[in-house]
Amino acid sequence: MTTTAPSPAPTASAAELVRRLRRTFAGGHTRNLAWRREQLTRLRALVTECEAELSAALAADLGKPALEAFVTELAFVRVEIDTALSHLDAWTAPRSVRVPWKQKPGRARIVPEPLGVVLVIAPWNYPVQLLLAPMVAAIAAGNCVVAKPSEVSAHTSAVLARLIPQYLDPDAIAVVEGGVAETTTLLGERFDHILFTGNGNVGRIVMAAAAKHLTPVTLELGGKCPVIVDRDADIDVAARRVAWGKYLNAGQTCIAPDYALVHADVEERFITGLVRSIREFYGDDPAASPDYSRIVNGAHHRRLLGLLPAGDPDAGTVVVGGTGDEHDWYFAPTVVRDVSPDAPVMQEEIFGPILPVLPVASLQDAIDFVNGRDKPLALYVFSGDDAAVEQVVAHTSSGGVCVNHVVVHFMNEDISFGGVGGSGMGGYHGQAGFETFSHLKGVVGRTVKPDPKVAYPPYSAFKRAILRRYL
């Protein structure tokens, strides 16, 4: 985990790059459905043929196990590509819509058209999936793309920057590596859409830069995603599934369970189930497990250590874990109980393998707790009572909800994935992604005749009466 990352190769200036892509788009090259299919097919070949190389880069950046890399990164992108290829004809076809009787005879339709040149800025935690999946949507919609991988996951960034031009059309799709300076320079250019995945602080910077050009944005941010465990939930299943979703990628997942609100009557059983699940998943020494990832770098490792109780009784009590090795960037799967809502671990998105468990007296108390904070990207509820589930769904707001499981709603390409409020705006995946990167243009056609003069001035009393009656 301390290997030296490759340095990005020098690239053309941002202004020159965007001008070049605009020339490509203006030539109509990317509007062709055959071109879109070819690019998507080539992207699928990249993910398939280069699996070993991409997995090695993910291991170097995040200690990501090969199976986890396949399931959460590579296979996910392939599903997005296959979905787009299967539905491209239907998505791009004009859609007939109703014509009001007052506008007849005539026809109306909605025509999806590409936006132009779009920018995709990816994070470091799922650096393949969260760069390539939005690109799938943008390419399917017929756009040129500037892809900006995260410099934090530098090995993966370097591999993608080398492979993408080999597989995809370099006249329409470009990769820009680098850090804050390069991203800032890119944001100074005018794009037709920007999709950013990351934290809210950077999201505000992206949105402010986009506003200068009136560029629409999709912001996939984070937040503290709560788990509500009701008294009549299947506690063993709830504990096992929460542990799986929390410690996947060592907790570095924007929709990972951030904290658990557990009915006080079942808190002990839930915590016991968490501890048992951690041992079943990763053994007595998770550091030796081939299935457990690492923290991305030393700075994040130190940040997570700072969220532990460290003797403060209001900050909670470590039940399991609470240890780490900064040399290896290992951080143990950790459960903390007796946590005050004002504790440091409850003030920011954890984005690591620490799970605070807070008891609540009732389901309504859990709902009130969630509603007293920023709207999360995901909310999870475990209950055997359908009425209780509907109460949570109806009286909370979140980007998405998953009932009796965690994370898996993200994998349904027929559901738009996105946040609300502080957790983001806009969405993508499947058709929703295609429409994010498209303009759904309304087209109305009228016949030449009849052409009644009552519609035109001068407006006599008779014309006014007719128009006021029927319009």
Domain span at residue 396?
Answer: 226-411
Q: Report cis status (omega within 30 of 0) of the bond before 10.
A: no
| Residue 318 lies inside a defined structural domain of this protein | yes
Q: What is the pLDDT along the chain (471 residues), one digit of tens a residue?
A: 545 555 554 456 999 999 999 999 999 999 999 999 999 999 999 999 999 999 999 999 999 999 999 999 999 999 999 999 999 999 999 999 999 988 889 999 999 999 999 999 999 999 999 999 999 999 999 999 999 999 999 999 999 999 999 999 999 999 999 999 999 999 999 999 999 999 999 999 999 999 999 999 999 998 999 999 999 999 999 999 999 999 999 999 999 999 999 999 999 999 999 999 999 999 999 999 999 999 999 999 999 999 999 877 778 999 999 999 988 999 999 999 999 999 999 999 999 999 999 999 999 999 999 999 999 999 999 999 999 999 999 999 999 999 999 999 999 999 999 999 999 999 999 999 999 999 999 999 999 999 889 989 999 999 999 989 887
Pair of tokens at residue 56: 């090695």
Are 243 and 111 in a shared domain?
no
Q: How many domains does the chain have?
A: 2
Q: Is residue 456, in this structure, part of any structural domain at all?
A: no
Inside any domain, residue 448: no
254 is catalytic: yes
Same-domain status, 398 and 271: yes
CATH number of domain containing 428: 3.40.605.10
> What pTM was computed for the model?
0.94
- The CATH number linked to 269 is 3.40.309.10
- Active-site option among 73, 80, 220, 267: 220
5 contacts 154 by C-beta, under 8 angstroms? yes
Q: Which of 254, 267, 349, 402 is catalytic?
A: 254
| Of residues 123, 118, 134, the one with CA closest to residue 252 | 123
Residue with tokens 């991305």: 296
CA–centroid distance for 357 within its chain:
25
Whether residue 143 lies inside any domain: the answer is: yes
Q: 130 and 40, same structural domain?
A: yes
Same domain, 149 and 195: yes
- Told to judge if 402 belongs to the known catalytic residues of this protein, a careful annotator would answer no
Distances (CA, A) of 296 to 152, 252, 466: 8, 9, 71
CA angle in degrees (0–180, nearest 5) for 371-372-373: 90
138 and 65 share a domain? Answer: yes
DSSP states of 81-148 as a string? HHHHHHHHHHHHS-EEE---GGG-SEEEEEEEEE-SEEEEE--SSSTTHHHHHHHHHHHHTT-EEEEE
Distance CA 332, CA 301 (A): 11
Residue 68 lies in a domain: yes
Clarify whether residues 74 and 113 are in a common domain. Answer: yes
